[in-house]
Amino acid sequence: MTDRIFVGDARVANLPADNRGLAYGDGVFETMRAHRGAVQWRNAHWARLVQGADRLRLPLPDRLRVDTELDALLRAQPDGVVKLVLARGAGPRGYAPAPDAAPLWLLSLQPFTLQAPPRPGGLVVRWCDTRLSLQPLLAGIKHCNRLEQVLARGEWQDAAIDEGLMLDSDGNVVCATAANLFVFHAGHWSTPAVDRCGVAGVCRGWALQALDVRVSRLSPAQVEAADAVFLCNAVRGILPVARLGARSWGRHPALDDALRRLADAHPAFSDRLETP
């Protein structure tokens, strides 16, 4: 991992111990795919970071400075997973945010190969017991309060399970622990709303534009009755789901079409087309 740490415009050698990211998860982050020196959906990631920072009233670093540092990372290593964390700068002890604190931000770049490769037929997925609580004030943004996802991902150690689907406290299906969910039924795609919990994923945002998608509440039964299911995130693109408990799916023309569209728009994700 390559880590660069900044407080405002100043690069610093070490993470300040009084950072509010550690204290309260008081920050937002973006996880991005770098491919041949380019960050996929670079503007969309920045836009979501700005939206999250606005919701939390976090001061932003200067974008030009972030871009300059990111480009320097990419020159040294053109492919991988870029993570940008933005946390509120230090202030006195207590929850009150110091409005003028310079923002703390970190850039890191990891090899993409750290990720498990997708299985040939698609992901094997389970239902999680951990529910997502309903908090409209935090829904949609990629903030650093992620204990629900940590608990959900901690429910299984079986390497044969790739991901877990999560319900909200009302029993609606929302997402996977680290991906959004799309199901195909009656000729169109559906994905859950993220207005009460969940993250408005950047690849989800692309799919909403590129495919015929309805945003709607989904029950577990509706997911299991779907003709095709995929998960997606900005690092791994579209990931077909092959199995969910006892339910299994073969490849579906609508899914192949979605994969092709994504590969055409973003070559980083063309490897998925080669799977049988």
Distance, first Cα to last Cα, the chain: 32
If binding means CB under 8 A, how many residues of this protein chain bind its own copies? 61
Residue selected from 7, 73, 125, 144 as contacting its own copies according to rule CB under 8 A: 144
Reading the block at residue 276, the tokens are 């049988």
Check residue 27 for interaction with its own copies (CB under 8 A).
Answer: yes
Residue among 10 and 186 whose Cβ is closer to its own copies: 10
Q: Rule CB under 8 A: which of 65-104 touch its own copies?
A: 81, 83, 85, 87-88, 92-97, 99
The CA distance from 82 to 235, in Å, is 9
Return all residues near 71 (Cβ < 8 A) that are at least 6 apart.
Answer: none
The CA distance from 134 to 275, in Å, is 38
Q: How far is the CB of 156 from its own copies (least distance, A)?
A: 9
Reading the block at residue 128, the tokens are 């999680």
Q: How far is the CB of 256 from its own copies (least distance, A)?
A: 27
x/- map, 159-198, its own copies, by CB under 8 A: ----------x-------xx--------------------
The CA distance from 202 to 45, in Å, is 7
Residue among 135 and 248 whose Cβ is closer to its own copies: 135
Return all residues near 68 (Cβ < 8 A) that are at least 6 apart.
Answer: none
Residue among 202 and 258 whose Cβ is closer to its own copies: 202
CA distances from 181 to 113, 124, 193, 212, 215 (A): 23, 14, 10, 14, 11
Q: Which residues bind its own copies (CB under 8 A)?
A: 1, 3, 5, 13-27, 29, 31, 56-57, 81, 83, 85, 87-88, 92-97, 99, 106, 108, 110, 114, 130-131, 133-135, 137-138, 143-154, 157, 169, 177-178
